[in-house]
Structure 1
């Protein structure tokens, strides 16, 4: 077994950090465009959402059913090699897949006949961005990011302590 497998928790935390960073970037874009009534294609800005899913897509229960609970000696340095999937060059291929999609919720209509983008009835089609929802999502993403940093630091401390044994 290669030494990289011992540090798989670093890769897991890094995937989580990357996913939350992408989420924060999309939230920042949504907040920046909360008043954008006309994009390149002439329509109001559409809220974007980051969709995360695990790869391979398995539920926790289905993964747990396939795992052996308890101590098991694999005689390959006592680590089970099937907890993660590796490529030929020993990189982890399980992880988080993120995708950015547009929110299809309806636009907000604001009555403002003076606005240059107002329709014939005086309504302006505003982006479907709710600043309160974005702020709540930003707090959630920040907390998730902090949790991944904490997990990374815990893994780092355990690896450091293991090297002192």
Structure 2
């Protein structure tokens, strides 16, 4: 496998990982007001591919944030217990938006590397044809 193909494999694994991360961040943001919802965390892992000899990024198992849920007093809420409290979510919108921005920028950086590698490969083919 040539070096261009290896670079494309590595960047495509980064694109897939960041896309998965963005999807879960969007779920977290959309469920910020859902009572009892626990924030999803996406760990990244390094996976060595012996077939092409490169390390690639993989998404690990989705984990739930085990931080405590805030107890809110609202006896009129349908999920309130007999004392009038219910558990809110542990999603902090500022953290989720910052993480989403980071994931978006990482995705864009991987995309730039992918495009640059493709252009370099195409230029090399043009040179070899002459």
TM-score of the superposed pair, with normalisation by structure 1: 0.70
Say if 1:9 and 1:85 are closer, same or farther in 2 by CA, change over 3 A: same
Question: 2:58 and 2:32 mapped to 1: Cα distance?
Answer: 27
**Any stretches of 5+ residues in structure 2 without a counterpart?**
none
Q: Please list every run of at least 4 consecutive aligned residues from structure 1 whose deviation after the TM superposition is greater than 6 angstroms.
A: none
After TM superposition, list the pairs within 5 Å mapping 1:150-165 onto structure 2.
Answer: 150-165=112-127
Q: How many matched pairs?
A: 126
1:96 aligned residue? 57
Determine whether 1:46 maps to 2:38: yes
After TM superposition, list the pairs within 5 Å mapping 1:1-165 onto structure 2.
Answer: 2=1, 6-37=4-35, 44-56=36-48, 85-86=50-51, 94-99=55-60, 100-165=62-127
Contact 2:13 2:58 in 1 (8 A): no
Question: 1:121 and 1:133 mapped to 2: Cα distance?
Answer: 31
Which whole-Å deviations, capped at 9, do the CAs of 1:87-134 have from their partners, x for residues lacking one? Answer: xxxx56731221211111111122212111112222220111111111
TM-score of the superposed pair, with normalisation by structure 2: 0.87
Which whole-Å deviations, capped at 9, do the CAs of 1:6-61 have from their partners, x for residues lacking one? Answer: 41111111100000000001001111111222xxxxxx1211010002124xxxxx
Question: 2:102 and 2:120 mapped to 1: Cα distance?
Answer: 27
Q: Which protein shows a greater Rg? A: 1
Tell me which protein shows more helix as a share of its residues.
2
Contact 2:42 2:63 in 1 (8 A): yes
**Any stretches of 5+ residues in structure 1 without a counterpart?**
38-43, 57-83
